[in-house]
């Protein structure tokens, strides 16, 4: 296992290009199961979650080959239908293969994903949605077994995907993908409106699907007999962009982001601007229409100190839960009391205890955390617990004084490509070491 050794207090300056989106890429990769023609995906980030998805697709007969950020995929052998526990347990997003495999191969056996560090993560809505299309679903030995009805195809219907915390992103991706090959028309009510769903619909339409309304709560899919190949460029990663914005704001720096999906970051930017952070598009002036609102160039600059704000996570276009932890790190240094309420994953607060080790003043009451800004954070050994919590520790470490050692950075590698090199290129001091190298150098102990 690797660790990050981070020297705090460095200002950032320079430019970073935002990578393609991990959370768009995963269902797009799974959707290659819907066709036996070649698919090319561009701007795919180099991440462990993507490698795991490619491994899973390989086991399911999809040959794949990476050349830089471009991946060529081709489902040549469509006989395998089992997504095994070995892979599913490493990555919940493996559930994305369920809908495409069921629709194209007539049957799917996918290991039931377990909970994870951010809490209980059921898949009941995915299953309810597929059942509404006529799928017969049973559980056997920890696996979900789904079969199309006797007619040999799923059958379009109206499907409601609302749950206790709003819609479901991957559930919408699963049902929408499956419905492309169903007989008749499917209407998904209470569909997730996230930009990653729009990207998936765009790719599926380019493959020959007939989807309208993606990005709104009602998505209509007119089923077709088959889908063809496609060459598709993935949208930029709004969460990676938001994380870099927080890093700039926390260190009182000014940086440029290119390929930045500003249009998908409205609520996060609203909160940053309320804190006093300036986000200035430099490609098209305000009031003009950019050619592609998801691929912008902008500068982020942060005068100190930041003002406290209130944040409530919500489904898109509300504030994304995937930026909650990073914003909490930022608010630790604001000049007053901030309140964050988590409404998507009520248990997503593992970063609180670690930030507290660095001197943060945070009091959690159920799904709400009150963050009292402090004058400074100080370096400490901390433990990464999940992807975004880990990113928040990196931000806090960069803004803090002294040396922070972030353990278990494999969580970060799931969703941020070479984070230490990319932030290092704009002035951060982050060194990756193996645990043994770290111990040999005698900087300290890895155990807390």
Q: Does 188 bind ligand EPZ (CB under 6 A)?
A: no
Residues 47 and 69: their CA atoms lie apart, in Å, by: 11
Spatial neighbors of 354 by CB under 8 A, at least 6 apart, are 382, 383, 385, 389, 393
CB contact burial 182-202 (16+ within 10 A = b; e otherwise)? bbeebbbebbbbbbbbbbbbb
Residues 292 and 294: their CA atoms lie apart, in Å, by: 5
Of the candidates 31, 110, 125, 384, which one interacts with ligand EPZ according to CB under 6 A? 125
- Helix ranges, 46-180 (H): 48-59, 85-88, 98-105, 124-132, 169-179
**Contact track, ligand EPZ, 235-264, x by CB under 6 A:** ------------------------------
Q: Does 273 bind ligand EPZ (CB under 6 A)?
A: no
Nearer to ligand EPZ, 8 or 415 (CB): 415
The interface with ligand EPZ within residues 77-96 (CB under 6 A) comprises 93
Nearer to ligand EPZ, 63 or 124 (CB): 124
Residue numbers annotated as active site: 116
Residues 73 and 29: their CA atoms lie apart, in Å, by: 8
Q: Does 275 bind ligand EPZ (CB under 6 A)?
A: no
**Contact track, ligand EPZ, 283-322, x by CB under 6 A:** --------------------------------------xx
Stretch near ligand EPZ under the rule CB under 6 A, chosen from 9-17, 161-169, 200-208, 288-296: 161-169
Nearest approach in angstroms of CB 166 to ligand EPZ is 6
Stretch near ligand EPZ under the rule CB under 6 A, chosen from 6-14, 59-67, 124-132, 230-238: 124-132
Stretch near ligand EPZ under the rule CB under 6 A, chosen from 68-76, 115-123, 333-341, 353-361: 115-123
Nearest approach in angstroms of CB 328 to ligand EPZ is 14
Q: Cα 117 to chain center, whole Å?
A: 15
The position carrying tokens 């395998």 is 80
Stretch near ligand EPZ under the rule CB under 6 A, chosen from 2-10, 104-112, 159-167, 268-276: 159-167
The interface with ligand EPZ within residues 190-209 (CB under 6 A) comprises 192
Q: Does 122 bind ligand EPZ (CB under 6 A)?
A: yes
Nearer to ligand EPZ, 124 or 440 (CB): 124
- Residue 250: φ, ψ to 5°: -70, -30
Is the CB of residue 233 less than 8 Å from the CB of residue 40? no
Nearest approach in angstroms of CB 164 to ligand EPZ is 6
At 167, which helix (H) or strand (E)?
Answer: none
The interface with ligand EPZ within residues 334-373 (CB under 6 A) comprises 344-345
Nearest approach in angstroms of CB 289 to ligand EPZ is 28
Separation in Å, CA 370 to CA 206, 308, 328, 331: 46, 11, 10, 10
Nearest approach in angstroms of CB 335 to ligand EPZ is 29
Side-chain half-sphere exposure of 138, counting CA atoms within 13 A: 3
Nearer to ligand EPZ, 125 or 260 (CB): 125
Spatial neighbors of 270 by CB under 8 A, at least 6 apart, are none
Is the CB of residue 415 less than 8 Å from the CB of residue 47? yes
Sheet holding 82-83, edge to edge: 82-83, 107-111, 143-147, 136-140
Nearest approach in angstroms of CB 320 to ligand EPZ is 6
Q: Does 170 bind ligand EPZ (CB under 6 A)?
A: yes
Residues 119 and 388: their CA atoms lie apart, in Å, by: 13
Spatial neighbors of 396 by CB under 8 A, at least 6 apart, are 250, 329, 332, 355, 358, 360, 377, 404
Q: Does 163 bind ligand EPZ (CB under 6 A)?
A: yes
Using N-to-C axis directions, what is the helix angle for 195-206 and 169-179, rounded to 10°? 20
CB contact burial 311-342 (16+ within 10 A = b; e otherwise)? bbbbbbebbbbbbbbbbbbbbbbbeeebebbb
Nearest approach in angstroms of CB 304 to ligand EPZ is 28
Q: Cα 83 to chain center, whole Å?
A: 21
Q: Does 23 bind ligand EPZ (CB under 6 A)?
A: yes
Q: Does 168 bind ligand EPZ (CB under 6 A)?
A: yes
Stretch near ligand EPZ under the rule CB under 6 A, chosen from 166-174, 330-338, 361-369, 376-384: 166-174
The interface with ligand EPZ within residues 404-433 (CB under 6 A) comprises 415
Stretch near ligand EPZ under the rule CB under 6 A, chosen from 158-166, 281-289, 331-339, 366-374: 158-166
**Residue numbers of the site for ligand EPZ (CB under 6 A)?**
23, 26, 93, 121-126, 163-165, 168-171, 192, 321-322, 344-345, 387-388, 415
């Amino acid at each position: 296992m690797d660790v990050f050794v981070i020297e705090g207090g460095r200002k950032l300056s320079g430019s970073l290009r935002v990578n393609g989106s991990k959370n768009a890429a995963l269902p797009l990769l799974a959707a290659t199961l819907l066709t036996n023609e070649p698919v090319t995906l561009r701007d795919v980030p180099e991440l462990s979650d993507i490698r795991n998805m490619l491994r899973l697709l390989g086991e399911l007969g999809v040959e794949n080959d990476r050349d830089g950020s471009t991946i060529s995929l081709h489902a040549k052998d469509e006989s395998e239908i089992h997504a095994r526990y070995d892979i599913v347990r490493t990555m919940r997003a493996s559930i994305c293969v369920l809908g495409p495999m069921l629709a194209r191969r007539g049957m799917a056996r996918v290991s039931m994903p377990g909970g994870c560090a951010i809490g209980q993560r059921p898949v009941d809505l995915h299953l309810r949605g597929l059942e509404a299309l006529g799928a017969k679903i049973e559980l056997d030995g920890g696996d979900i077994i789904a079969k199309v009805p006797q007619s040999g195809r799923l059958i379009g219907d109206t499907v409601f995907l609302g749950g206790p915390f709003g819609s479901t992103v991957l559930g919408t991706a699963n049902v929408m993908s499956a419905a492309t090959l169903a007989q008749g028309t499917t209407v998904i009510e209470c569909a997730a409106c996230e930009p990653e769903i729009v990207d998936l619909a765009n790719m599926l339409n380019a493959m020959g699907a007939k989807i309208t309304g993606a990005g709104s709560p009602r998505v209509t899919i007119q089923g077709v007999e088959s889908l063809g190949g496609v060459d598709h460029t993935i949208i930029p990663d709004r969460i990676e962009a938001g994380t870099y914005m927080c890093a700039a704001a926390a260190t009182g720096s000014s940086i440029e982001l290119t390929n930045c999906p500003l249009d998908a970051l409205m609520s996060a930017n609203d909160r940053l601007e309320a804190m006093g952070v300036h986000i200035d598009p430099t490609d098209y002036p305000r009031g003009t229409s950019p050619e592609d609102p998801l691929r912008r160039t902008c500068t982020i600059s942060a005068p100190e100190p930041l003002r406290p704000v209130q944040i409530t996570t919500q489904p898109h276009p509300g504030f994304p839960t995937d930026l909650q932890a990073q914003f909490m790190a930022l608010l630790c240094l604001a000049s007053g009391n901030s309140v964050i309420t988590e409404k998507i994953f009520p248990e997503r607060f593992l970063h609180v205890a670690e930030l507290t080790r660095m001197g943060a003043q945070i009091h959690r009451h159920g799904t709400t955390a009150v963050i009292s800004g402090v004058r400074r954070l100080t370096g400490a050994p901390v433990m990464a617990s999940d992807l975004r919590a880990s990113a928040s520790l990196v931000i806090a470490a960069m803004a803090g004084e002294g040396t922070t050692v972030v353990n278990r950075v494999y969580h970060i590698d799931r969703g941020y490509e070479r984070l230490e090199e990319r932030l290092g290129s704009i002035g951060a001091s982050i060194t990756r070491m193996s645990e043994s190298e770290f111990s040999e150098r005698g900087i300290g102990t890895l155990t807390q």
